[in-house]
């Protein structure tokens, strides 16, 4: 078995997921990169290999339970073990009121944002039990706050938090945490600025426009550093919690371990 930790990261083709994978690679972790865009994954994989780490590219849609089983199987075939899972893949759409949403769009959002983490966790549990590993579920403030025209996303993230609590109670040898990554300069924020004025109440749409205009969006690397630290080092007593990336007990040791930039 490879002595280096092995972590699966979903949504790894861009944004927070790509940055989590890069931070992990900077500390020589083995990383399985998962997303639908294979070309983008290959680009991130090259960057990780340049850091001296190993990367496995697995193009997949986490909404498919068979694909989730395959992700874990390919990881174990390549690295002979699994220490962590970062369930980061997520979508915002449909950006629409409940009354005007299409059922198939609403369902697919739940499949990606909630069922995907559940499917991957189910597949990964035997290996993670063996390593007493960690699952980090990337949640959102939307789990508690209302975002008009994002009902599926809000509902999925609320469900993900409760799934985290239940899984932590069932799997007492694992560390299972939901993380709020903050407001991050990603494609999701671009979509909120683009579609918000048409779909949201004016005050809410203006809030997302102003986040960018006033420089309040975090670079993806900042919350990703906290997430990378957590999947490797979070204490088991945090299991079941919903935590923010910038809580001092997370952000301070993450900075100490990883530094300010990829090595």
Catalytic residue numbers, as ranges: 153
Any idea of the CA torsion for 97, 100, 101, 103, to the nearest 10 degrees? 140
Strands laid side by side in the 84-87 sheet: 55-59, 30-35, 6-10, 84-87, 134-138, 175-180, 242-244
Cβ pair 193, 212 in contact under 8 A = yes
Any idea of the CA torsion for 127, 242, 244, 174, to the nearest 10 degrees? -20
Distance CA 47, CA 32 (A): 13
Which spans in 86-240 are helix H?
Answer: 103-110, 116-131, 151-170, 187-199, 202-213, 221-233
Determine what percent of the chain falls in helix, strand and coil, rounding each to the nearest 5: 55, 15, 30
Cβ pair 19, 255 in contact under 8 A = no
Sequence-ordered list of residues with C-beta below 8 angstroms from that of 203, at least 6 positions apart, any chain: none
Name the residue with tokens 């927070």.
Answer: 16
Cβ pair 183, 216 in contact under 8 A = yes
């Amino acid at each position: 078995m490879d002595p280096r930790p092995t972590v699966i990261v979903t949504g790894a083709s861009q944004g927070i997921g790509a940055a989590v994978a890069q931070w992990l690679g900077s500390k020589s972790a083995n990383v399985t990169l998962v997303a639908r865009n294979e070309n983008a994954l290959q680009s991130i994989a090259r960057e990780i290999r340049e850091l001296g780490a190993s990367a496995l590219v697995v193009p997949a849609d986490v909404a498919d339970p068979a694909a989730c089983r395959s992700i874990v199987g390919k990881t174990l075939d390549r690295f002979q073990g699994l220490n962590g899972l970062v369930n980061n893949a997520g979508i915002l759409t449909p950006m629409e009121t409940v009354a005007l949403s299409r059922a198939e769009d609403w369902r697919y959002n739940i499949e990606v944002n909630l069922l995907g983490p559940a499917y991957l966790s189910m597949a990964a549990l035997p290996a993670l039990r063996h390593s007493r590993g960690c699952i980090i579920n990337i949640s959102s403030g939307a789990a508690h706050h209302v975002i008009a025209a994002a009902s599926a996303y809000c509902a999925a993230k609320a469900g993900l938090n409760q799934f985290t609590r239940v899984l932590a109670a069932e799997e007492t040898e694992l560390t299972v945490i939901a993380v709020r990554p903050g407001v991050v300069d990603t494609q999701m924020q671009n979509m909120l600025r683009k579609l918000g004025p048409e779909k949201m109440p004016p005050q809410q749409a203006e809030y997302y426009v102003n986040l960018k205009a006033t420089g309040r969006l975090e670079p993806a690397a900042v919350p990703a550093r906290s997430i990378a630290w957590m999947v490797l080092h979070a204490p088991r007593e945090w299991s079941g919690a919903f935590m923010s990336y910038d809580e001092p007990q997370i952000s301070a040791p993450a900075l100490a371990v990883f530094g300010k930039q990829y090595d």
